[in-house]
Amino acid sequence: MEDETGTASVLVHNENHSLFEDAERVVKDEVLGVVGTRKGSLIMASQLINPGTPRIDEKEMDFSMVFLSDTHIGSSTFQGDAFNRFIKWINGEFGDEKQQEIASNVRYLIVAGDIVDGIGVYPHQDKELIIKDIYKQYEEAARLFGEIDDVQIIITPGNHDAGRLAEPQPAIPEEYAGDLYKLKNVKFASNPCMVGLDGINVLIYHGRSFDDFAMTIKGMSHQNTDIIMKELLEKRHLAPIYGERTPLASEVEDHMVIEEVPDVLHTGHVHINSYKKYKGIHLVNSGTFQSQTEFQKIYNIMPTVAQVPVLNQGTMKILKFN
């Protein structure tokens, strides 16, 4: 580890099982405290301490917010029919009585990246696109999201969107998404970002660093991003592994640090829903509206499609549109 003296070697003995398990979750570039005793040039660790996240008090909310990500508009695997049912629902024209009641409470819709499929994101992507022009993909997104009435929409970028890829990612540039910018109820924000919505603080992060966690740490995978999100909160950093799959820009200030504890941590990217409440914080991955792609077939990844998490007056509900 790097410390004030330069570097220090820390030994974690595998006989101390719980400590050893803690050590297995340590990643390359996190901030970590070590309690231990010095033995020659080694520090024999007895405890590892993360920056940590305190338990938070639940806040009252008398409205709903809806979480989307990874719609991948423009892809031949975008599930347009399911998405149209979703739009009908949010406008109060679809679903049973209970679902329509939830829809009537919706004040905010957050889209956590990969709103379109993009161009040239991976080799031979053009074979899986029905809209092969990035501008037209955003036009189609504007047409679809433009049908949503009376809901404030917040859009943040993912790795399939246009603009700078390195995180922190600035908002999707207007030059690509002009029609979306024209919609009065749409606001654009960066990835990551923290938004306060009538007192509820939502930390939005697309989730690129999940790839690094799934590759590096035993027991972590794309299927259980709730476990990774919990780890991010304890490490107080959204991408604490540098130099692997997550492109990170060097900035004067580290915008990937989780400064404030959010009420909701909203992520996407892996196309698999997950939800857990941890220390009073809602950890939610909003899945996708894209069915299994050729790439996912090779790796046997089964996406959870058109399952939309809704935080309805403080309780998370998953509504299905497929």
Q: Given the rule CB under 5 A, which residues bind Fe ion?
A: 70, 114, 158-159, 269
Q: Using the structure block, give the residue that is written with the tokens 């130099």.
A: 243
Which residue, 207 or 240, is less far from Fe ion as judged by CB?
A: 207
CA angle 62, 64, 69 (to 5 degrees): 160
Q: How far is the CB of 74 from Fe ion (least distance, A)?
A: 12
Q: How far is the CB of 260 from Fe ion (least distance, A)?
A: 24
Which residue, 267 or 312, is less far from Fe ion as judged by CB?
A: 267
Give the single-character DSSP code of 167.
B
Q: Report d(CA 55, CA 31) in Å as an integer.
A: 20
Q: How far is the CB of 67 from Fe ion (least distance, A)?
A: 14
Q: How far is the CB of 206 from Fe ion (least distance, A)?
A: 6
Which residue, 114 or 231, is less far from Fe ion as judged by CB?
A: 114
Q: How far is the CB of 61 from Fe ion (least distance, A)?
A: 28
Which residue, 179 or 211, is less far from Fe ion as judged by CB?
A: 211
List residues bridging with 257 in a β-sheet.
237
Which residue, 107 or 245, is less far from Fe ion as judged by CB?
A: 245
Strands in 134-288 per DSSP E: 152-156, 186-188, 193-197, 200-205, 264-267, 274-278, 281-285
Q: Report d(CA 270, CA 248) in Å as an integer.
A: 19
**Which of these, 61, 24, 83, lies nearest to 288 by C-alpha position?**
83
Cβ atoms of residues 241 and 28 within 8 Å: yes
List residues bridging with 155 in a β-sheet.
111, 188
For 100-165, the DSSP string reads HHHHHHEEEEEEES--B--SSSSTTGGGGBS---HHHHHHHHHHHHTT--S-EEEEE--TTSSS--
Which residue, 114 or 234, is less far from Fe ion as judged by CB?
A: 114
Q: How far is the CB of 161 from Fe ion (least distance, A)?
A: 9
